[in-house]
Amino acid sequence: MGKGLLLVNMALLSRFGKLGQVDRETGLSTNASMNGGRFFQKDGRPNIRVEGMEFWRRLNLYHELLHMHYIKFLLVVFSFFIGINLLFALIYMAIGIDHLGGMVANTLGEKFGEAFFFSAQTFTTVGYGRINPIGFLASTVAAIEALMGLLSFALATGLLYGRFARPRAYIHFSKNALIAPFKEGRALMLRMVPYTKNHLTEVEAKVTLAIQVEVDGVRKNQFFTLPLDISKANTLSMNWTLVHVINENSPLYKLSADDLAAAKAELLVFVQGFDESFSSTVVTRSSYTWNEFVFGAKFLPMYNPSQDGSITVLHLNKLSDYETVALPDE
């Protein structure tokens, strides 16, 4: 066992020998050897890759389209539109270009282009009328394409509405968690701020510390709920600094940066609140690993009154700004 991990074990076991402060119901694995990297990414997504089942069985297409980046979503929609019309243009060409009346093209490429745009007009139910299907087979294909177009645009409309109307917390977290002076002692601090005009009320924050310790020769993850100086707020319209006081009852008491590195410490942050715009509860998460802790620092102010003193100016770009300070001895 490394010296740093030994110190962590001794410190924790001396204060929590009965494990009364350990959170055993985190929903995360306690076997450290079975975990790879951090539990959560910085944006709150679980750091997990799912394998062991066929891709199509575990594919949730609606969920994927609802949560993917908007540029990727638009590319998917555009690619689907181009692809489906290319497919139907090929079908019309296979039936016979003479089954599309009103065409003025001469070369094969021009005929395929007119078939493609006829497909696009049918798929979107625009139907300019210059080109029309002739015969039962071409008319049947055009009718099927029109039905597919109606269904596709209904799905696309629902996805667009879902993406825009999906409740989100819209909260940013500071890049680092700080060990800072606090009331003649030390405290763990991290800062968050809402970055849109949505208004959150009844906001509650919970912080959990994950530390690897060695128990009976086996390296395990243990989770400690860190009590906060203030864990609830009636409203969140400005920045909020979450503060955990480091005293004799804290699992961080007398642990150095090297100790946290040896124990592969990770801070898990969970925030929920009521969004008045959507009349719904929203949840967000973030995570800080041991190398994102800064010892001996404090956050700099990120707001100030306007020049005429009539309004408060909140500087979102200063969310993670801090300065180094001396820490009092523990």
CATH number at 224 reads: 2.60.40.1400
d(Cα 173, Cα 195) in Å, to the nearest integer? 10
Q: Which has the minimum average pLDDT: 144-148, 212-216, 300-304?
A: 212-216
Question: At residue 180, does pLDDT exceed 60?
Answer: yes
Residue 244 sits in which domain range? 3-49+168-324
Residue 188, pLDDT > 90, answer: yes
pTM of the complete model: 0.74
The torsion defined by the Cα of 309, 312, 313 and 315, in degrees rounded to 10, comes to: 140
In the predicted structure, residue 11 carries a pLDDT above the cut 80: no
177 neighbors 294 (Cβ within 8 angstroms):
yes
Please identify, among 106, 138, 165, the residue that sits at the C-terminal boundary of a domain.
Answer: 165
Which of 106, 134, 165 is at the close of a domain? 165
Torsion of CA 18, 228, 26, 46, to 10 degrees: -140
Same domain, 93 and 138: yes
199 or 43: whose pLDDT is higher?
Answer: 199
Domain identity same for 118 and 193: no
Average pLDDT of the residues in 175-188:
93
Could you tell me if 211 and 250 lie in one domain?
yes
How many folded domains does the chain comprise? 2
pLDDT at 7 over 70: no
φ/ψ bin of 119: left (φ > 0), alpha (ψ from -120 to 50), beta (otherwise)? alpha
Evaluate if residue 17 carries a pLDDT over 50: no
Beta strand 293-295 with 232-236: parallel, antiparallel or unpaired?
A: unpaired
What CATH code is carried by the domain that includes residue 151?
1.10.287.70
Task: Answer for the pair 312, 300: CB distance below 8 angstroms, yes or no.
Answer: no
Which of 120, 137, 165 is the last residue in one of the domains? Answer: 165
pLDDT for residue 4 is more than 60 = no
State the Cα–Cα distance between residues 74 and 124, nearest whole angstrom.
17
319 in the same domain as 231: yes
Q: Which of 64-68, 110-114, 291-295, 303-307 has the lowest mean pLDDT?
A: 64-68
Identify whether residues 128 and 92 lie together within a single domain. yes
What sections of 32-126 are H helices per DSSP? 55-58, 61-67, 70-95, 108-123
Pick from 7-16, 64-73, 103-112, 143-152: least confident: 7-16
DSSP letter at 27 equals: S
Q: Does residue 156 fall inside a structural domain? A: yes
Q: Is 93 helix (H, G, I), strand (E, B) or coil?
A: helix
Q: Is the pLDDT of residue 44 over 80?
A: no
State whether 14 and 112 are in the same domain.
no
